[in-house]
Amino acid sequence: MSETINRRIVLAARPQGKPRPEDFRLEEAPVPEPGAGEMLCRTIYLSLDPYMRGRMSEAPSYARPVGLGEVMTGGTVGQVVRSDLDGFAPGDLVVGAGGWQDYALFRQGEARKVDPGQAPVSTALGVLGMPGQTAYVGLREIGKPEPGETLVVAATSGPVGSAVGQIARIRGCRVVGVAGSQAKCDFVAGELGFDACLDHHAADFAERLRAACPDGIDVYWENVGGRVFETVLPLLNDFARVPVCGLIAWYNATELPPGPDRTPLLLRRALVRRLTIRGFIVSDFAPGDFLTDMGQWLRDGRLRYREDVREGLENAPAAFIGLLGGENFGKLLVRVAPDPTR
Amino acid sequence: MSETINRRIVLAARPQGKPRPEDFRLEEAPVPEPGAGEMLCRTIYLSLDPYMRGRMSEAPSYARPVGLGEVMTGGTVGQVVRSDLDGFAPGDLVVGAGGWQDYALFRQGEARKVDPGQAPVSTALGVLGMPGQTAYVGLREIGKPEPGETLVVAATSGPVGSAVGQIARIRGCRVVGVAGSQAKCDFVAGELGFDACLDHHAADFAERLRAACPDGIDVYWENVGGRVFETVLPLLNDFARVPVCGLIAWYNATELPPGPDRTPLLLRRALVRRLTIRGFIVSDFAPGDFLTDMGQWLRDGRLRYREDVREGLENAPAAFIGLLGGENFGKLLVRVAPDPTR
């Protein structure tokens, strides 16, 4: 890595279906100079998250799409190189949306400091960052797990799912995870201590899920869509809550699944069982005690996390493409530069 | 009508799809004698409501199905004939769930008095009864209409839809109704004062709905399902609320609609627009100020209603079958005996 060249990955084409490597382009540009009220940060970790698939499309969404030729958006942990920004000095570690590049500029309010004495700085992109906050506020505002209730969460070895399940266990719930491989299930049931974790590829997944939820399901945290949702639907109890946080099974879809149209099953069930199905994104809700609670649970060993760290900015596109296929195992990060705290 | 014979309509067979006349049977039985703590009431008005279709099926729902050979369940306004129940005397007018029959017994808590000086007693089955309360509490708890927002409601000439729209107008909303005929639309836009009302049979219904909702839709009150729901979905604004109150378009369905499976459209929209889709029934929420508010609005002329009264208990099955096809125009009632207050 050069101190004068900024490598950056831009969106070269809007993916049709599954993104291909040629939808991205690695460019080199001069490292920008921070102007008045700006600071320059060197990227250490880049976070790769499913929501980025939406930013690659022009379909209306809650955020502006990335333009063609623009640097891909993404959360980053970086280190301040030069600063004309009050409160930030060279060497400080910060988290912000630096994007898929070696260096990024930030203005007031665009980054906050992270304390490496509290937890590894990479957690600012995971359990103590956007994914963890998503889990925390989505449960607080929509899932509302009560002691003794049963919560099911898919994509459960990922950063949102693993936080959702562990918070719900701390809240006194029975927690059943759903994941895409036996290795992930072993981790979730073993390391994270979920009551059960099921591989959704199993031929008898529906029967296993029913057996794992003898009292039905009170909260289904929707990260996935597709077959898992269909299997969960008949098991939802009266007044169950379904926070809709992600639908990764459908992100690459270019057409609707074959019929029949199952929409009536969903709405009928919503009526008869008086379900609440509610979409949200993390910024819809104030963080509240998120950092206090999660930091405490982390220190107490009640909250664990797993990272899947890939080396080198140039590998971000392949890592992201794999993410949409469930190939990561834990919070997917790209180490863009060495972590000075490790 | 005899004073000694109780005519009653029982469920003769579980309907497959659209109910047929032979799914019902008119029986005669002796008028029951009220025992200790009971009162006998003569039915004056029987309410026919879409939810009854669910009670005819064995599929799991929020209430026990009517058994074969059992009297069809239904709300009634009646007059006390004999009473051993504290607080009720012969001649009193009461509302309760007397069912599809000439005479019914009630115990403590199963009926309440209605005051014919306040409003016509039939309103205890409509605007001041279960349908009106459904509208009132569903808006209060789920729809949460704010001044300046746009609310769309289907089946809007019916008792729930017309109350929903009028309450939302009182709350300061732009209100667009959807109904199944031009005559109904004329009534809703004219008599009820909605901002617009559209016939969903129109070939250009989608374009008309878009034009009638230039600022999008903030609350969609779901009474219907089917094509209306599909047309509304793309117009829902960020943070829109969808109280799911009924799905009459699908009540007689024996199979799912043809594909593709549109479930992803619904859930994706829920995520991107952060929708709340929530099913409920009237008894899920306390009435609160329902009777006070609605009574006042009725007296003020701000709340209107239309009744569609059929004569004779024996005509209840045909009237109910027509209800599921949208043949009624206003709150559907059967006059089982003369109304002594009129």
Residue A193 in this model has a pLDDT that exceeds 80: yes
Q: Across-strand partners of B219?
A: B151, B241
Integer Cα distance of B232 and B219 in angstroms: 10
Confidence (pLDDT) at A59 = 82
Instruction: Select from B244, B257, B262 the Cβ nearest to the Cβ of A270.
Output: B244
* A106/chain B closest Cα distance in angstroms: 27
Burial class (CB in 10 A: 0-12, 13-18, 19+), A83: buried
- On whether any CB of chain B is under 8 Å from the CB of A258, the answer is yes
Half-sphere exposure of B204 (CA within 13 A, CB side): 5
Instruction: Select from A62, A261, A270 the Cβ nearest to the Cβ of B272.
Output: A62
Tokens matching residue A230: 């269909």
- On whether any CB of chain A is under 8 Å from the CB of B147, the answer is no
Q: Helices (DSSP H) in A42-178: which residue ranges?
A: 52-55, 130-138, 159-170
- How big is the CA angle at B216 (ends A254 and B327), to the nearest 5 degrees? 95
Residue A2 in this model has a pLDDT that exceeds 70: no
Residue B244 in this model has a pLDDT that exceeds 50: yes
Q: Taking residues A235-243, report their average pLDDT.
A: 98
Question: Rounded to the nearest 5°, which phi and psi values hold at A93?
Answer: -100, 130
Tokens matching residue A170: 């701390």
Residue B341 in this model has a pLDDT that exceeds 90: yes
Interface touch A279/B274, C-beta < 8 Å: yes
| Reported ipTM | 0.94
Q: Across-strand partners of A240?
A: none
Interface test with A, best of B278, B280, B281 (most A CBs within 10 A): B278
Integer Cα distance of B288 and B308 in angstroms: 28
Residue B63 in this model has a pLDDT that exceeds 90: no
- On whether any CB of chain B is under 8 Å from the CB of A64, the answer is no
Q: What are the structural domains, with CATH classification, of chain B?
A: 5-126+305-335 (3.90.180.10), 130-288+291-298 (3.40.50.720)
Q: What proportion of chain A, given as a percentage, has pLDDT over 90?
A: 94
Segment B74-113, tens digit of pLDDT: 999 999 999 999 999 999 999 999 999 999 999 999 999 9
Q: Which residues of B131-145 are buried (b: 16+ CB within 10 A; e: fewer)?
A: bbbbbbbbbbbbbbb
pLDDT band, very low/low/confident/very high, at B257 (cuts 50, 70, 90): very high
Residue B153 in this model has a pLDDT that exceeds 90: yes
* B54/chain A closest Cα distance in angstroms: 10
Segment A70-119, tens digit of pLDDT: 999 999 999 999 999 999 999 999 999 999 999 999 999 999 999 999 89
Query: Between the CA atoms of A321, A322, A328 and A333, what dihedral angle is there, to the nearest 10 degrees?
Result: -30
Interface touch A247/B253, C-beta < 8 Å: no
Instruction: Select from B225, B260, B270 the Cβ nearest to the Cβ of A277.
Output: B270
Q: Does residue B303 contact residue B191 with C-beta atoms inside 8 Å?
A: no
Instruction: Select from A244, A253, A262 the Cβ nearest to the Cβ of B270.
Output: A244
- On whether any CB of chain A is under 8 Å from the CB of B222, the answer is yes
Under 8 Å CB pairs connecting chains A and B tally to 146
Interface touch A274/B272, C-beta < 8 Å: no
Q: Taking residues A241-265, report their average pLDDT.
A: 94
Residue A1 in this model has a pLDDT that exceeds 80: no
Confidence (pLDDT) at B1 = 47
Q: Helices (DSSP H) in chain B: which residue ranges?
A: 52-55, 130-138, 159-170, 182-190, 205-212, 226-232, 263-272, 290-299, 316-324
Integer Cα distance of B142 and B247 in angstroms: 17
